[in-house]
Structures are given as C-alpha cells and as structure tokens.
Structure 1
C-alpha cells in the first residue's frame, strides 16, 4: 500500500504531525473551510516567497499561523511591516486575533514542495522538462538526500497524447514507516495544458521518539501577534502529549 497512498498521510502519528491542530466539535466544517481559505490566501499573496507549508493552530480566540519558507525576508519586510500587514489582512478574513510565526527552511533542495514548484516554474519558462528535473535531482543529491524521485505527467513537449515519465536516483522506501519521505504535487500551466509534477525526497530514517511536527530542524525567524493568556499553555501541552 505504500506505493498507492500519500507518503505524508501514511506517516501521520508515526513520524509526522498534522498541519492543522485544533478541536472543532460541531463547528469542524466551518473551521476546516476557514483553514483552507487561509492557506489559499497565503500561497496566492506570497507566491514569490517560496512558501512550503502553512501550519494552523487554534485556541478559543486566537489563530496561530506558522509559515515555513525559504525566503523569510520577503514575508517579514522592512522592520516587520509586511508581516504586520499580512496579520491584519488575515484578521479581516477570520474576524479573530492572528499570530504569525515564520520558520526558515535552511535547505530548500530537500523540501519536496519547493523542488516541485521550482521545476514547474522552469517548465512554464519554456525550459526543457528533462533539464529542469535532472538539475533538481542533482541539487538534492548534493545536499545529502538519500533518494529522490520526480514524476511528470501530461502533454510533454506538446505531444498530442499525454504520458508520464519518472526520474529517480537513490532509494525511496515507501513501505518503511520510519523512512522520512517528503512528498508534493504541483501543477505547471503551459500553452498545451497542465502538467502534473510529483516529487518524493528521502531524507533518512527516524529511530526512537521524535517530535511530531513539520517544523523539526527549522529555525524560527520572526513572530507577530498579541498577548495569549492561557492559549500558549494549551498548545505546549498538546505538543508534549504528541511526543
């Protein structure tokens, strides 16, 4: 089954944590739709900031949005002006207090979302898809990835019939739950239609206990938000219980 399922979803609760952390009760659907709106808005507004993931935590009156990015300076802006502006915009969307935390991705070559987005941008710029994929694979291997696989599907080079091609180097043990495998799917929009780009990156194996958080190994660059009476304690207890 490891070949058929999403590698991230297949490892939730084992070596990976959730991107949304809250209890919804009867309002579960509304909060889930609101999370989707927040993520879509952030990815659209920060399209040039190399955003990889958006993690959302909720308390009764506060929403904590954690953005992982390879270019934190674009999000923070001069003296934090841009991140404050983003906080006010999200506050208008949700009608709740917002806190924004920004974590920097030190090695974007090992982040599947950023690798897939980079390949998609190059294809949209009319660079050969084979060249873009081979450059991405070489860059990831240079950064000590144990394995990487990239699959592209669609009307490659404008062919009348769609097809799929896969390129792989190293190992991708999808059925090994302790294998730390990152995965992403990105679409490239070309004059011939959309191309689907899937990326798997094997970072290593996890032995023993590990914090179930997508932020493992990242460094915090900035935070923006107000006072959180009692809210931080609940979030910290939740993280401790998941360890």
Structure 2
C-alpha cells in the first residue's frame, strides 16, 4: 500500500536543494535550533509580505547568510532599506551572530504552493466558501502555466458537526515521478468553526538530471 510522504523531502538531493546549507559537527543541534528560530521569526514578522521560502547558508560558525524569497520585495526592504536593516539587526540579536540578508523576488506567486495555500486559508478565515476558494486558486494557477494542481481542505467544512476532507484537482500531479517538479505546502486557517487545514500540490513540469547538472 502506498504511503503519503512530503513531495519536497522526497526530491531533496535529486531535483531539489536543501533549504539549509551548512556543515557542523558538535554544533549541529545548535545550528538546527537557530535555523528553526530564524524561520519562525521571519515568517511571523513578514506575514503580509508573501514570503514563500527562507534559505540559510553558513560559511563559518559566526556568519549566517539568509535568502528570503518574497512576492513583495518592497514591503520587506522598506523605504531606503530601513526595514530590511531593522530585520537584520533583530535576527542578529536573536542568534548572536553576523547576519546578511538577500531578497529574491518571486516572479509568479500563482505557481508557489505556500502562497496559494495561504491565499485559500485567508479566504476561509473571511468566511468564503471552501469550494469557491479552491476553485479560484486552481483557475489562477493553471492560467499561470502550471501543468497540474491539487488542493485539499480539511476540518468542519461549512460548519458541519463532523470534520471531513474535500479537494479538487486539475491537470496531472505525478507524485511518484521523482523528476517531476512538484511544489507542496500545508497551511492552517483559524475559522469560527475551529482550525482548518489547507494542502496544495503544484506540478510545474519535469526537471531532467542532465539539465540540473549543467546548471
């Protein structure tokens, strides 16, 4: 019987790279907890900036390079770079190391699973129908050029007494094909009926190993 695994973790080292890139021996646990703290802090601080991914790289023990992927770079940078400098100082205080932050703009947010899932969750919190929210997301993503998308919403849908899961899909989402470029994310919505879970899978096409190696 097939088991459900994270499409991202399954493809790390094959067509995806690690989001944390560093080597540590005795400091492994320290660096791991620091990475978790950094990501939690930045995601909470930049909730409205449509941040999809935070990459962390360490060249040595006292220098942390952070790359923030966002659909709203101006919101993160601020006027004259004031906001990003303030963020850098706060992260530096959090981990007590030298911190450098780079910003990468997301050209097409409709192809990023985390942003699509967050958009569905935001609509659920505003009492939009879970069916309408999912269908809107699917239409936007397919128009943006995706090969396929699958969504699922779980919880007390429509205020029902018993929780259930309902989802929609369009196109192909080959979860077992390792060369398939599939983005996945899980978000939560706080509604009047309790927590609702939102899952999104987006298939963007295939990545061949030869192309990856040539890069």
Q: What does residue range 1-243 of structure 1 map to in structure 2 within 5 Å?
A: 4-60=4-60, 61-211=62-212
- Unmatched runs of 5 consecutive residues or more in structure 2: none
Cα deviation, residue 59, structure 1: 2.1
Is the contact made by 2:7 and 2:183 (CA closer than 8 Å) also made in structure 1?
yes
Cα deviation, residue 2, structure 1: 7.1
Separation in 2, partners of 1:57, 1:150: 32
Separation in 2, partners of 1:39, 1:124: 24
- Unmatched runs of 5 consecutive residues or more in structure 1: 213-239
Change (3 A) 1:110 1:39: same
The root-mean-square deviation of aligned C-alpha atoms, in Å, is 1.5
1:230 is aligned to none
TM-score, with structure 2 as normaliser: 0.96
Separation in 2, partners of 1:2, 1:36: 30
Higher-RCO chain (CA-CA 8 Å, sequence separation at least 6): 1
Change (3 A) 1:88 1:210: farther
Cα deviation, residue 210, structure 1: 4.5
Is the contact made by 2:15 and 2:209 (CA closer than 8 Å) also made in structure 1?
no
Separation in 2, partners of 1:37, 1:115: 24
Cα deviation, residue 208, structure 1: 3.5
Residues matched between the structures, number: 214
